């Protein structure tokens, strides 16, 4: 089923990407093309097939529960668009 | 001497290594020559985003000092370029995106560190499709890369800068990453070799994540032998990547010299159907003839589910991308919009400005297929069909040692010719994506040209951890052919 402009707005909202009214229809058309291509896969009978999430079906290893990282706070925080006193600054969220 | 050195300096990596070992040339001379070639060609090709001149010369001096001290390894002093998706400490790592336009990486990727430890001289960072999403390098925020064989054509993508840089002989080797074909397809379209190892052989630590269950670091170089030498240095277990495989080190060059007598080449009938350009099929058939003359046998195999690989890929890769790229929100690093009304508005504007159209499209597709009510119909379904495809390959490898076909259904296409049709662009990866879904290794090597003089690539695929065998087949082919020695007209 083709996507509506409202579908596009809803997905964009979930993805936290602003889509302007001017670009919404072009986005919708291109997504429709992609979902039409993907649609062929949905018709396959996969009853009883175990999903494959890893190319080698490997189990993720466990490590010892101990601190292995050293302190990189300064090196990483200096990359932030806005930081002060060891805190990331964002617009006020609590009135 | 200068004349002799100039000839040597565009030779394959293995020859340069021999020249360095014999002290016919120093790492500093070699690096200066590479920097000169980059300066001469980059304004036309746009293959490099960052050139680290001073750093490169420092590393070259260190390599020469190591050699004088008797501490040189096989790759010491060889220049290398890194795809800009790999973190390089202290050097801009943009991922081809406005989002990371001014991002300076705080640490090295594992594979960057490994090649530095091997004494390689990193000279700069190569252009790429934004966040490695693309098959033409036209999705870079920093403009497209041009194909050294014809500047009106794309070099392939997403490792298009690395492919063009090696093809134009600017550097003997470059790293790449391959999530759906991003090493093998640009290698094919640019007329060089591109190796995607088995998933887990090279650590993803410091590789800016696109689709974590598919992302695979690898190499681009002039010959299969060079790829083997590079993989020897890059491979290895890394506890910082939970999917890195802990197995004993191996010499990937150990089988290069083995004759091909009795090697069984699987030919999937699905790879030779309509949709592949006749000049591509003709070049592959001629190459198969050469391999048979060397003693290999062909056997027809079938991969009945492989035509579902592209649809499956375009569910799994965008789903994982939508999750991985949620970290780019203008808070901890990267671009932040200049004006916004509140926190949500900051996220939405930052991401609208920082990402290009294709990256946004894939995030939207991924968000949709993971959203409430759609997960089973798309993501779970795709993971189930992924297993059907993996089973096809497992059964095929019961009958053959390697699988051979075209890397891409076409040779390079014109800049701008597919940018408005995402699905058409996605079909470039029709022969490569299955290798990512199954995690099996593959190498693309040059095997001819089309009527326009654009290179054709042959894809040699193997079983999990079958790198030595596919490199063997590729090397034996290169001993009796000279396609890999052809130099493009735009090489300086």
User: What is the rounded distance in angstroms from the CA atom of residue B321 to the CA atom of residue B332?
Assistant: 19
Quote the pLDDT of residue B7: 53
* Interchain CB distance below 8 Å, A80 and B342: no
∠ Cα B250 B167 B50 (to 5°) = 90
Residues of B within 8 A of A15 (CB-CB) are: 322, 351, 360, 363-364, 367
Rounded to the nearest 10°, the torsion over CA B95, B100, B101, B103 is: -100
**B314 near A CB under 8 A:** yes
User: What is the rounded distance in angstroms from the CA atom of residue B422 to the CA atom of residue B387?
Assistant: 26
Do B190 and B163 touch, CB atoms closer than 8 A? yes
Kindly report the nearest CA distance between residue A65 and chain B, in angstroms: 14
Q: Which of residues 198-227 of B touch A (CB under 8 A)?
A: 198-200, 213-214
Mean pLDDT within A73-95: 92
Cis before residue B158, ω within 30 degrees of 0?
yes
* Interchain CB distance below 8 Å, A79 and B360: no
∠ Cα A76 A81 A87 (to 5°) = 60
Do B158 and B140 touch, CB atoms closer than 8 A? no
* Residue B254 phi, psi (nearest 5): -65, -25
Q: Beta-carbon neighbour count of residue B465 at 10 Å? A: 17
* Interchain CB distance below 8 Å, A52 and B348: no
Q: Which of residues 375-434 of B touch A (CB under 8 A)?
A: 377-378, 380-388, 390, 421-423, 426
- The yes-or-no answer on residue B302 being catalytic is no
Overall pTM > 0.80: yes
∠ Cα B174 B195 B312 (to 5°) = 115
User: What is the rounded distance in angstroms from the CA atom of residue B139 to the CA atom of residue B327?
Assistant: 20
Quote the pLDDT of residue B195: 98
- The yes-or-no answer on residue B83 being catalytic is yes
What domains appear along chain B, each with residue ranges and CATH number? 2-261+471-485 (3.90.1300.10)
**B103 near A CB under 8 A:** yes
Q: Tokens 């030498």 belong to which residue?
A: B229
* Interchain CB distance below 8 Å, A79 and B343: no
Looking at this predicted complex, what is its ipTM?
0.96
Kindly report the nearest CA distance between residue A11 and chain B, in angstroms: 6
Residues of B within 8 A of A41 (CB-CB) are: 308, 311-312, 315, 381-382, 385
Cross-chain CB nearest to B340 (options A7, A27, A91): A91
Could you tell me the pLDDT band of residue A93, with boundaries at 50, 70 and 90?
confident
Mean residue pLDDT of chain A comes to 92
pLDDT tens profile A8-44? 999 999 999 999 999 999 999 999 999 999 999 989 9
Strand (E) or helix (H) holding A11: helix A5-15
Chain A interface disruption, residue of B326, B384, B391, most A CBs within 10 A? B384
* Interchain CB distance below 8 Å, B381 and A39: no
For chain A, the 3-state helix, strand and coil shares in percent, each to the nearest 5, are 40, 5, 55
Q: Are strands B297-301 and B264-268 parallel, antiparallel or unpaired?
A: parallel
Q: Beta-carbon neighbour count of residue B101 at 10 Å? A: 16
**B313 near A CB under 8 A:** no
Do B260 and B476 touch, CB atoms closer than 8 A? yes
Kindly report the nearest CA distance between residue A69 and chain B, in angstroms: 11
Q: Going from the first residue of chain B to its last (492 residues), give the mean pLDDT of each consecutive group of 10, the final group possibly shorter.
A: 60 96 96 97 98 98 98 98 98 98 97 98 98 97 98 98 98 98 98 98 98 97 98 96 94 98 96 90 98 98 95 97 98 97 97 98 97 93 97 97 97 95 92 97 98 98 98 98 95 85
* Interchain CB distance below 8 Å, B388 and A46: yes
Residues of A within 8 A of B349 (CB-CB) are: 18
Catalytic residue from among B26, B97, B135, B158: B158
- The yes-or-no answer on residue B158 being catalytic is yes
User: What is the rounded distance in angstroms from the CA atom of residue B166 to the CA atom of residue B137?
Assistant: 15
């Amino acid at each position: 089923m083709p996507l509506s402009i409202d579908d596009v707005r809803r997905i964009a909202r979930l993805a936290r990407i602003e889509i302007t009214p001017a670009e919404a229809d072009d986005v919708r058309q291109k997504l429709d093309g992609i979902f039409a291509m993907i649609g062929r896969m949905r018709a396959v009978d996969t009853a009883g097939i175990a999903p494959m999430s890893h190319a080698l079906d490997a189990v993720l290893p466990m490590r010892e529960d101990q601190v292995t990282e050293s302190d990189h706070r300064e090196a990483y925080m200096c990359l932030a668009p806005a930081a002060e006193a060891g805190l990331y600054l964002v617009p006020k969220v609590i009135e | 001497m200068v004349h002799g050195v100039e000839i040597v300096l565009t030779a394959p990596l293995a020859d340069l290594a021999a020249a360095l070992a014999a002290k016919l040339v120093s790492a500093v001379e070699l690096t200066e020559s590479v920097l000169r070639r980059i300066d001469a060609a980059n304004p036309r090709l746009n293959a490099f985003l960052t050139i680290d001149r001073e750093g490169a010369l420092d590393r070259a001096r260190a390599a020469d000092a190591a050699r004088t001290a008797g501490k040189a390894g096989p790759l010491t002093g060889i220049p290398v370029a890194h795809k800009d998706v790999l973190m390089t400490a202290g050097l801009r790592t943009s991922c081809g995106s406005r989002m990371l336009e001014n991002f300076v990486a705080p640490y090295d990727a594992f594979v960057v560190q490994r090649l530095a430890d091997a004494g390689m001289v990193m000279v700069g960072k190569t252009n790429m499709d934004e966040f490695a999403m693309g098959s033409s390098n036209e999705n870079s925020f920093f403009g497209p890369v041009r194909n050294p064989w014809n500047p009106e054509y794309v070099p392939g993508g997403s490792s298009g800068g690395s492919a063009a840089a090696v093809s134009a002989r600017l550097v003997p080797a470059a790293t790449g990453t391959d999530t759906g074909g991003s090493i093998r397809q640009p290698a094919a379209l640019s007329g060089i070799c591109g190796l995607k190892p088995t998933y887990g052989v090279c650590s993803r630590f410091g590789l800016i994540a696109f689709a974590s269950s598919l992302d695979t670091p690898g190499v681009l170089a002039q010959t299969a032998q060079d790829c083997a030498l590079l993989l020897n240095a890059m491979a290895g277990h890394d506890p910082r990547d939970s999917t890195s495989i802990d197995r004993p080190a191996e010499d990937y060059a150990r089988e290069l010299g083995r004759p091909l007598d009795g090697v069984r080449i699987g030919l999937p009938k699905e790879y030779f159907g309509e949709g592949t350009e006749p000049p591509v099929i003709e070049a592959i058939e001629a190459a198969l003839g050469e391999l048979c003359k060397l003693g290999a046998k062909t056997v027809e195999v079938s991969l009945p589910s492989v035509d579902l690989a592209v649809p499956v890929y375009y569910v799994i890769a965008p789903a994982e991308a939508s999750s991985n790229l949620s970290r780019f929100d203008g808070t901890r690093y990267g671009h932040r919009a200049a004006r916004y009304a509140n926190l949500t508005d900051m996220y939405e504007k930052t991401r609208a400005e920082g990402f290009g159209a294709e990256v946004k499209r894939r995030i939207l597709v991924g968000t949709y297929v993971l959203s409430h009510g759609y997960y089973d119909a798309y993501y779970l379904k795709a993971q189930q069909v992924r297993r059907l495809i993996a089973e096809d390959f497992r059964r095929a490898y019961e009958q053959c040692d390697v699988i051979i076909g075209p890397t891409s259904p076409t040779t390079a296409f014109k800049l701008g010719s597919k940018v408005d049709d995402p699905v058409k662009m996605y079909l470039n990866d029709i022969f490569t994506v299955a290798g990512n879904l199954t995690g099996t290794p593959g190498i693309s090597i040059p095997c001819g040209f089309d009527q326009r003089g654009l290179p054709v690539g042959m894809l040699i695929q193997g079983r999990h951890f079958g790198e030595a065998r596919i490199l063997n087949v590729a090397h034996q082919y290169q001993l009796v052919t000279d396609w890999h020695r052809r130099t493009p007209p735009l090489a300086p």
